[in-house]
Structure 1
Amino acid sequence: MTMNQHKAIELEEGWAYMQTGITKLKRILEGLPESFSSDDYMMLYTTIYNMCTQKSPHDYSQQLYDKYKEAFEEYINSTVLPSLREKHDEFMLRELVSIWVNHKVMVRWLSRFFHYLDRYFIARRSLPGLNDVGLTCFRDLVYQELKGKVRGAVITLIDQEREGEQVDRALLKNILGIFVEIGMGQNECYENDFEEDMLKDSAAYYSRKASNWIVEDSCPGYMLKAEECLKKERDRVSHYLHSSSEPKLVEKVQNELLVVYSTQLLEKENSGCRALLRDDKVEDLSRMYRLYCNIPKGLDPVANIFKQHVTAEGTALVQQAEDATSKKVGILFHLSPTVMDVENAVVSQEQALKEAFEVFCNKQVSGCSSAELLASFCDNILKKGGNEKLNDEAIEDTLDKVVKLLAYVSDKDLYAEFYRFPPPPPPPPPPPSLLLLLSGNMKKLSRRLLFDKSANDDHERLILTKLKQQCGGQFTSKMEGNDLTLAKENQNHFKEYLDNSPNTNPGIDLTVTVLTTGFWPTYKSSDLSLPAEMVKCVEVFKEFYQTKTKHRKLTWIYSLGTCNIIGKFEPKTIELIVGTYQAAALLLFNASDRLSYSEIKTQLNLADDDLVRLLQSLSCAKYKIVNKEPNTKTVTPNDYFEFNLKFTDRMRRIRIPLPPVDERKKVVEDVDKDRRYAIDASIVRIMKSRKVLGHQQLVMECVEQLSRMFKPDFKAIKKRIEDLITRDYLERDKENPNLFRYLA
């Protein structure tokens, strides 16, 4: 057919010509030996082009768009559906795959003929593209009618394969590919029209199997079958199911085979977990670990049985030992080879011991990590009054075992921080003092030393030596240095200064401890407005200190100070041992009988949190030195306070503590911050040495470097790498994004 370029092509004429091309395409799809030449293609394309570019009323773009869709609908209704309706089961699936392939070919060719519509008309009108129209026709007319039959046929084949029959996996892959492709970029059709029913059928199938196996098989035999089933389901995903189905399918199988029957399986007489532990069935225990380790709380019942086993075995060993304490630790090491081999039978005994113990040594107990518990245990052993029942040899032996146990704790840096940082202690004993720190960090070790709570300096040095041997010098660097000796000498010089300068005497027995940055932790300093009596003390000490040096800045940490105040109550006089904040508040009542919350806050210049704590301790706790209106158990900004002249107590000297502050959260936050710095430093060290390194190798080397202090999270390392890239320490290779280069 030759089209006149100057005469408008009418719709009927042009479409009749296009029908010849569509008919020829249908014959090609049916397998007839025909094809399109380049001239054929150009004539068909040109016909559409001319019919779309003619002037109105001969612009037939909309009509051709509609007829494009009608061509698919006519072919599907006349040819495709009749062919599919007469076939069933696997034959229907094969026919559907063939028709789907032909349909995509038809869409590809027709969209090329009508391509001018896609480029201009469809783009301007924001209509669905030609490819989408073709797929939508198939979805609405074929897929919607047959999806139920197709789903049932596929699930039947999957169940047949589970029973050991041979099935055509390529056919299943192609069929399930239709469910994915028909969603046009979304998995909604696959999930709603196939996966949901497939998962239900899988759960029902394995429920039936498990109900029989749990009765017929021993625990090892049952676990063998369960492991094989899980392996085959993962294999099924790799061959024909969509990859997104794997976690859902595995969860269903695990639930039916392992979770539902966990108690019956683990408690099986003569073959359950207890019997496997008793008989050292390493391979079976290893399989049990592999099966249950990925199930949420799946190892809890196994761990409970193991705990009972250890208790029984340990009790027997303790009864044979002279030293129950030392043998108790020995029990753990005696049992360790069995536990360790559960994870990997070929790993060395030492490595197995480490892996086994790390499972238990890093569990939380009542919300506390083992790192914190170990730090508290050390503090109790080393402080005064904590070890009266132990001689020096027993203390050294206990500390040695603590350090060995620390080897299995992954968060060693958290242990170090808690070891140096306890919950706030009661104020130190008199003489009354204001404590002065320059900066640094006060932890468990620091408190023992600073407040003279350490029972034995030799034991302090011993555990630091052992920790250095176990974890390295960097681990103990912040624990080893302190300048208390210099601080004591400084206090003696201050007393001499006062003795030689009677006119500068502050009028209060004052003890000040000056410490140096780096050895001691940072405590929050505040701009507390001191009463006149205390201001004079501070000024006197400043004058003295300036005679020693003019190049150091003194920062007063009032929260660690204590004061002894004489309270003159009507019944009798009582000595009050209080903190600096409390003392400052009480001295305000020398000038005023009644003060409001806001007046106290203004005069002391304290934050609300600190003010509420100190007023709570004075008016709502055991000793009500101050009366509060209204008389409630909490302090609010609307309260008023009066000195309680009628207060009395059977003691002539009482200590009034502040409510404790939970500093655990801050310790954990500080450790997290330090870990970020440590990861950054490790990455930079590695990259500075290597210059160019792949992502996986960089992560593994970073983990290896840091594992002596803590077990870094892979996600945290990845985040730090990205941060270092933004800060121009590293850059990604332009051709390989998983390769990093160091920027000098």
Structure 2
Amino acid sequence: MAEEDSFSSSATTSQEQEQLENRNLIVPSVAADHHTDDLTEASTTLSGFAGVKLGTGSVKKLVIRNFKDKPLILENYTEEAWQKLKEAVQAIQNNTSVQYSLEELYQSVKNLCSYNLSANLYKQLKQLCEQHIRAEIHQLREYSLDTGPFLKKMDKCWQDHARQMSMIRNIFLFLDRTYVFQISMLSSIWDMGLELFKSYIIRDQNVQSRTIDGILLLIEKERNGEMIDRCLIQRLLSMLSDLQIYQVSFENKFLEETNRFYAAEGRKLVQKKEIPGCLYHIKNLLEEEVDRVRAYLSLNTQKLLIAIVEKQLLGEHLSAVLQKGKDVFEAFYKKDLARRLLLGKSASVDAEKSMLSKLKQECGTAFTNKLQGMFKDMELSKDTMIQLKQYMQNQNIPGNIELTVNILTTSFWPTYIPKEIHLPPEMERLQENFKNFYLSKHSGRKLQWQSTLGHCVLKAEFKKGKKELQVTLFQTLVLLMFNEGDHFSLEEIKMATGLEDRELRRTLQSLACGRARVLIKNPKGKDVEDGDRFFCNEEFKHKLFKIKINQIQEKETVFFSS
């Protein structure tokens, strides 16, 4: 039995005991479940003795059982572990390298939590984060008085904070998912960081006011035509949203400033004598504000913002503007509204209808009847297209062109001069199919095709890749010719398309002399001349897949009041 005793003692030699202590940072008075790996390693070391015969010749197997009690914390381990975690957090906050691996730091957090030290660990971490944030906000208070540098510093402070809290949370993930998760009154480590940042921002009125006033100043500069850093504003406003102070700290003050700005702008408009220019300006301002919302403001701000702009530019001053000449205004507004509706360029249908409501109040029903009729035509056209699709399916009408038709009541819309053109056979068949369908439902009506309003989407394949070209019907007729040949003269294109000379030259100029040159003109030049020849630009390339090729615009008549 003396030999058996020697085996038992070999399993718990002081040297192996020391190895276990060093690996787990605890003294294993008796083994715990989470030290199975260390005990397995000890068992492996002793496996060579398992087959030794004892006394009577029987083989004795050595069995090592798990420790029953929880290990004791190694002396000074709590302080040492926290010191290590503290150094790591401070290194992250100071943007210096962390000396320890994430695995090692994570294990330290897990060990401390295993010994009911979670509450103290959370408290110490919060104090450490609070000290850092307090120091950062104090630096901001003393920072440059210039708006631009201050806002950039504020942005950097926030971006650094978000990045740092993300890294810190990764280290303390075990604490976050166990102790913090189980106590409803505690904020997660990420939310705790947000709350501390928010608390010190709100507490320091100097920093908060300089941030909000700086953002408002940049927005006013943009409204006055200056270029600003939109991305900077977007990030700062996202910060306010994340801190849940966007509405209280920013939006209310922003709307007050908007009201003040457009009240002054409205007074300027009343002084203008040129009605079309005045209304174009109003339209552009509305579109700019919608774009501003899309770029960096909260979508919830849009409705309140547009209401203020409309009130100041239309509600308060519309009567004065319209008194300068209702007839001129109607002609101008109808033409511009028609373009927006037919080309789908309206920034907001609700804004258009709101404008119509204002006009009705100011000018009466007779003034707005035609404008309302234009909206009604667009809605009826959508229903007609649904019926047309069903009709073509029932009739088994083949074709690979998707046709959309807007049916316009002549008396509602501006006057358009019809132009004769030569359509490809497949397009002619589509028009004929639509005519048969429509007249079968509305007998006695007369259809007149307005080719000047036609638009198409062409799928084109170049050497550099496939593209979708958004073009006018006239541009379409020219481009489709290059499916049948490599090059054509001005006279040949004119003969094939039926376009009148001035319209054809503008169309070719847009395709061969503009920014997106899908055709090549020989000889080169900005204008289209007699004898010019046109080639398909096989090497055409563009960063976008969908490309809109704008038509060269004719000079429009400008209306002035007397």
Larger Rg computed on CA atoms: 1
Higher relative contact order (CA 8 A, sep 6+): 2
